[in-house]
Amino acid sequence: MGPAVAVGAVACGCVLTAAWNPGDDGVALCASQSVFGVDCPFCGGMRCVNALTRGDWLAAADHNVLLAVALPLVAVGLLVWLWRSWRGRTTPVPWPSSARASIALGAVVVVVLAAFTVARNVGGPAWVDWLASTSSG
């Protein structure tokens, strides 16, 4: 039942985001964008999800390239989990079982998120400016 609930919740969230269409109306929905004027690692995430639900990966990547890459992989993982659950098979947890490996993976995730946050908030060449959630493409 867990996989079905997870897939159902994600599907409902995607449908609602697609129906709402957060769009680029100039109003920042993220607290870091509203208060500090900087993009957090998830800024542009709802617009990214909206673009992905329409099948427009390039627009999704324009809003948040990290999520545009990660979310389809997460969706495939959820569907594999659901499929294996229906077939009565257990699915191994993708997180390492040892504490040391788990801490190392967590540290890598934090470093990647921090590097992405810094990169999308500094000025520079066009490819760096493109990482910002407010980029117009």
pLDDT digit string, tens, across residues 31-58:
787 788 888 888 888 889 999 999 999 9
Residues present in the chain in total: 137
CA atoms of 49 and 57, how far apart (whole Å): 9
CA atoms of 53 and 40, how far apart (whole Å): 22
Q: Is this model's pTM higher than 0.75 or not?
A: yes
**Residue 12 counted as domain residue:** yes
**Residue 137 counted as domain residue:** no
CA atoms of 17 and 53, how far apart (whole Å): 9
Structure confidence at residue 12 as a pLDDT band (50, 70, 90): very high
Give the number of other CB atoms < 10 A from CB of residue 63.
25
- What residue numbers bound the domain in which 116 lies? 2-129
The helix or strand, by DSSP H or E, that contains position 95, with its residue range, turns out to be none
**Residue 134 counted as domain residue:** no
| Number of domains the chain is built from | 1
75-98 per-position pLDDT tens digit: 888 888 888 888 887 766 666 778
**Residue 52 counted as domain residue:** yes
Of all residues in the chain, what percent carry a pLDDT higher than 90? 22
